[in-house]
Structure 1
Amino acid sequence: MDLFQLETFLAVAEERSFSRAATRLHRTQPAVSQAIAKLEGELGEVLLDRSSRDGTLTDAGEVLREYAVKLLNLRVEASGALTELRELHRGRLNLAANEYTCLYLLPLLHEYRRQNPQIKVAVQRALASRIPDEVLSHAVEIGVLSFRPDDAQVQSVVVYRDELVFVVNPRHAFAGQQEVAIRQLGNQNFIAHNIASPQRLKVIQTFKKHKTPLQMGVELPSMEAIKRFVEMGNGVALVPWLACEEELKSGALVRVRVKELQLERKLRLVYRRQANLSHAALAFLKVVENYAAAHGEPFLYQPERSL
């Protein structure tokens, strides 16, 4: 039983004539008769009383007509829903980001929602190390990462240039200096993030390279906590510029350059390489590309080749 058969059956039931139903459907009368006969054969029921001249329905025909109307109405509804998705009048955008990379999304989500107010946006908080798996398992469509995933199934696009900055509170002895050497940091108490990352490893390696001890006396679970703790005078920190932009502008934190610690961070959008992305996700990528073209650095849009 398919929708064409049901449409043919309803046309005969409503027109009360095989010939008029054929005209309505732009089919030949034999094709209509064959469709009805096939439907009756599949159901094992006679649907039309052939002895009557007006195409009277049997009891089985009356039952089927009720369901046929519902099914054909659902087809129209489904087609309309798909049209709404294509035209972005409905849908959902699922993203994954951690506390830091979520900050990058805010201006883009603002623009995306301005253009597509009917699309529901859900940003799932996730550990950066797990985001590629979240993408590959279809839990989310797009993730935001500060490192390049090594899985060939994941497509990545560089979308933002950031850097690690050395920050102190305004009362710190380094606050009045524009630049210090890494060897001057050997006796400083660093407030660190307690989650391992490629950037943390680079920092540790840089201190080792310059034979300078790295004292991480306190480890905290969030960037917000790290910034607040440094503001209170409990130590110094290396944090992404994006995460402390407001504090640097307000003077709550002071940036001091360390010439040996020029560590760039590239943020990437990642998604399944062979994915048929939703209309909502494709529209988001277009917003990101257009935003980068309009605003320039640090925003950009550079697809990366697979490793």
Structure 2
Amino acid sequence: MDLHQLETFLTVVEERGFSRAAARLHRTQPAVSHVIRRLEEEVGEQLFERTSREGTLTAAGELLLGYAQRLLRLRTEAETALDELRSLERGRLVLAANEHTCLYLLPVLDEFSRVCPHIGVTVQRALASRIPDQLLERVVEFGIVSFRPAGDHFRSIAVFTDSVAFIVNPSHPLAKEKHVSIRDLGAQNFVAHNVVSPLRRRVIETFEEHKTPLNMRTELPSLEAIKRFVAMGNGVALVPALTVQQELARGELVRVPVPELAIERQLWLIHRRHSTLSHAGTAFLRVVKALAVERGKPFMYRIEQGE
């Protein structure tokens, strides 16, 4: 039993006869009769009274009628839903980001919501190290990370350049300096992020290279907590510049350049290489690219060579 057979069956019922159904379907009456016979063979029941010329249904036909109508309505609903999906009238985009990289997404999603107002968006917070696995598990469609994942399972697009900011409270003795040397930081008490990351390792190695102590006396679980703690006058910190733009603008924190710690990092938009993007995902990429063209640095859209 297929939808074509059910459609023919419903047409015979609606037109109250085989000849009128054949005219509506632009087929011959024998062809319509053949389809109905095949349907009856498959269900194992006679569907129409043979003595009636008006397509009178048997009990089995009456029973099948309701199911046939429901199935064809479902087909119509499915076709409509797919059309809406293609035209971006429905759908949901699911991404993964951490506390840092989520901030890159805000202006992108702001524009995306204007371009595709009917698409729902979910940004799941995740450890950066877990995001590639979430992509492979198909939990999310895109991830934003500060490293390019190893292997050939992912397509990586550089979308933003961020730097490391040395921040202090406005009343801190170093706040008025135009710049400081890393050697001047050996006596400072650093408030650190307690999540192991490539940036943390690089900072530690840089202090070791310059034979300077790195006193991480306080470790906190989030960048937001670190910023607030430093703003209260407790120590100093190294954080992604993207995360302190508002505090610097409001004067709650001061950024002091440290030449030896002029570290820049790319943020990468990653997705599964060998899978078809959703219509919403394709539209999202168009917005990311358009925003990079419109705003310029530090925004960008550069597909890694070899991708």
TM bucket (normalised to shorter chain) is over 0.9
Code of the aligned partner of 1:195 = V
Partner Cα distance (1:171, 1:142) in 2: 41
Partner Cα distance (1:5, 1:207) in 2: 76
The alignment partner of 1:213 has SS state of coil
Correspondence 1:93-172 to 2 at 5 A: 93-172=93-172
Provide the residue aligned with 2:2 in structure 1. 2
User: Deviation per CA, 1:54-104, whole angstroms, max 9, x where unpaired?
Assistant: 221111001111111111111111111111111111111111111111111
Code of the aligned partner of 2:295 = H
Code of the aligned partner of 1:293 = V
Provide the residue aligned with 2:238 in structure 1. 238
How many Å apart are 1:162 and its aligned residue?
0.5
The alignment partner of 2:261 has SS state of coil
Partner Cα distance (2:52, 2:277) in 1: 54
User: Deviation per CA, 1:2-40, whole angstroms, max 9, x where unpaired?
Assistant: 100100111111222222222212223333222211111
User: Deviation per CA, 1:260-283, whole angstroms, max 9, x where unpaired?
Assistant: 111111111111111211111111
Correspondence 1:142-291 to 2 at 5 A: 142-291=142-291
Give the aligned CA root-mean-square deviation in angstroms. 1.3
Code of the aligned partner of 2:109 = L
User: Deviation per CA, 1:173-200, whole angstroms, max 9, x where unpaired?
Assistant: 2111111111111111111101011111
Instruction: Work out whether residues 156 and 270 of structure 1, in 8 Å CA contact, stay in contact via their aligned partners in 2.
Output: yes
Code of the aligned partner of 1:252 = E
- Percentage of identical aligned residues: 61
How many Å apart are 1:211 and its aligned residue?
1.4
Instruction: Work out whether residues 155 and 306 of structure 1, in 8 Å CA contact, stay in contact via their aligned partners in 2.
Output: no
Instruction: Work out whether residues 135 and 271 of structure 1, in 8 Å CA contact, stay in contact via their aligned partners in 2.
Output: yes
Partner Cα distance (2:306, 2:42) in 1: 51
Q: Gaps (5+ residues) in structure 2? A: none
Code of the aligned partner of 1:138 = R
Partner Cα distance (2:139, 2:72) in 1: 32
The alignment partner of 1:208 has SS state of helix
How many Å apart are 1:220 and its aligned residue?
0.4
Code of the aligned partner of 1:251 = G
Partner Cα distance (1:302, 1:207) in 2: 32
Partner Cα distance (1:35, 1:276) in 2: 38
Q: Gaps (5+ residues) in structure 1? A: none
Partner Cα distance (1:140, 1:46) in 2: 50
- TM-score, with length taken from structure 1: 0.97
How many Å apart are 1:306 and its aligned residue?
5.6
Partner Cα distance (1:160, 1:216) in 2: 28
Code of the aligned partner of 1:196 = V
- TM-score, with length taken from structure 2: 0.97
Displacement over 4 Å in runs of 4+: none
Code of the aligned partner of 1:156 = S
How many Å apart are 1:219 and its aligned residue?
0.6
Partner Cα distance (1:225, 1:116) in 2: 34
The alignment partner of 1:212 has SS state of coil
